Amino acid sequence: MFDAMDVGILSFVIAAISVEWHLNPTQMGWIGSVNSIGMAVGAFGFGLLADRIGRKNVFMLTLVLFSLASGLSAFSTTLTFFLILRFFVGAGLGGELPVASTLVSESVSAKERGRVVVLLESFWAAGWLIAALIAYFVIPEFGWRIALIITALPAFYAIYLRRNLPDSPKFELEGKPKQSFGAKMKLIWSKPYARRTTMLWIVWFTVVFSYYGMFLWLPSVMVIKGFDMIHSFKYVLIMTLAQLPGYFTAAWLIERTGRKFVLSTYLIGTAASALAFGNSDTLTMLLISGAFLSFFNLGAWGALYAYSPEQYPTSVRATGSGMAAAVGRIGGIFGPLLVGSLLAAGHGFEVVFGIFCGAIIIGVLAVIVLGTETKQMELE
């Protein structure tokens, strides 16, 4: 929830500071991309660290990192300083997400694991809703800096976690890790896991590339399409509400129909919605297609987070999930930049969202052709 609040706030802050600092679309794209550069570094580094010092320790460390860096970014007076702090925010966010899903997946029985991890991810929608509410009520009245100061508050949650959260039972059973980084990489790309790793890297890249390209730009898209900032924030809040049923339906289906079915179906729905949104020319069509985009895309995210840790044994589970997420974050670097450069070159939103639609279809094919069904399988 706190992760999503931070990413969500950024999408609204981009729209606000672009007006205050007179940013062009390319500079706006860089704000989202620097966040993703940090996420790639964080997912890779903290995933390795979680297999070494435990899931709980890394979970708390990343929470404090992204909260404090986000709060400090409220005091930025230049784009350069803002971008440096957003890198550190991204590193914390990127590390926390795969580590949290690994911790939960290792703490739940096989028959409930997929459903519980998707429900965990559903709090992403709650965080986006909080971000949209802060943006709607705080930014117009008090400014974007106050909104960012609010994002520092989750750092205090680490105090509660340190006292009350148990570490992963599977990690504690495994004992002190004996594998070097090279040995872990060799295992991830060994014959039993190479197909799974290839599938995950393709899916993560296409999903993150399209998600950050589309959702970080949503408030700005509405402003560019002619709506004022307050109305744009309200419309994005309405679209965001559709994320919750997207997660809950995916959670209900994932233990009944399996990971592959849910992930591929929801990604196909995302691709179709992206195409419709890019070609919408009325407010009604924008809201309907935007709501479906939220519904399907976030349901797919939930399934992906449930699916990823199930591909690897305990000794490299956080490393494997973290590396797949890191490859995804590389896509997140290019997504917002692509939107900025295409808009600056005079291309319309139908071209931009058509590209994201095509990328998602590649991800669907990877799941169907290369994916292994892991429904209710015991973790290795």
Of 225, 269, 247, 242, which is closest to residue 357 (Cα–Cα)?
Answer: 269
What number is the average pLDDT over the span 296-304? 89
Spacing of C-alpha 259 from chain mean position:
18
User: What are the structure tokens assigned to 212, written together?
Assistant: 């950050």
Residue 7 above 90 pLDDT? no
pLDDT of amino acid 300? 92
What number is the average pLDDT over the span 263-281? 91
> What is the band of 199 on the pLDDT scale with cuts at 50, 70, 90?
very high
User: What are the structure tokens assigned to 154, written together?
Assistant: 């989750």
pLDDT top residue among 204 and 125:
204
> What is the band of 361 on the pLDDT scale with cuts at 50, 70, 90?
very high
Dist CA 178 CA 113 (whole Å): 27
- Inter-residue contact 208 to 335 (CB < 8 Å): yes
pLDDT of amino acid 53? 84
Q: What is the 3-state secondary structure (H, E, C) of the chain?
A: CHHHHHHHHHHHHHHHHHHHCCCCHHHHHHHHHHHHHHHHHHHHHHHHHHHHHCHHHHHHHHHHHHHHHHHHHHHCCCHHHHHHHHHHHHHHHHHHHHHHHHHHHCCCCHHHHHHHHHHHHHHHHHHHHHHHHHHHHCHHHHCHHHHHHHCCHHHHHHHHHHHHCCCCHHHHHHCCCCCCHHHHHHHHCCHHHHHHHHHHHHHHHHHHHHHHHHHCCHHHHHHHCCCCHHHHHHHHHHHHHCHHHHHHHHHHHHHHHCHHHHHHHHHHHHHHHHHHHHCCCCHHHHHHHHHHHHHHHHHHHHHHHHHHHHHCCHHHHHHHHHHHHHHHHHHHHHHHHHHHHHHHCCCCHHHHHHHHHHHHHHHHHHHHHHCCCCCCCCCC
pLDDT of amino acid 211? 85
Residue 332 above 70 pLDDT? yes
pLDDT of amino acid 83? 94
> What is the band of 176 on the pLDDT scale with cuts at 50, 70, 90?
low
pLDDT tens, position by position, 35-80: 888 988 998 899 888 888 888 999 899 999 999 999 999 999 899 9
Spacing of C-alpha 301 from chain mean position:
8
> What is the band of 362 on the pLDDT scale with cuts at 50, 70, 90?
very high
pLDDT of amino acid 198? 95
Widest distance between CA atoms in the chain: 59
What number is the average pLDDT over the span 342-357? 86
What does the mean pLDDT of the chain come to? 87
- Label residue 195 exposed, middle or buried (CB < 10 Å: 0-12, 13-18, 19+): middle
Q: Which fold has domain 2-164+181-370?
A: Growth Hormone; Chain: A; (1.20.1250)
- Tell me which of 32-36, 123-127, 322-326, 357-361 is least confident: 32-36
> What is the band of 144 on the pLDDT scale with cuts at 50, 70, 90?
very high
pLDDT of amino acid 234? 79
What number is the average pLDDT over the span 114-137? 86
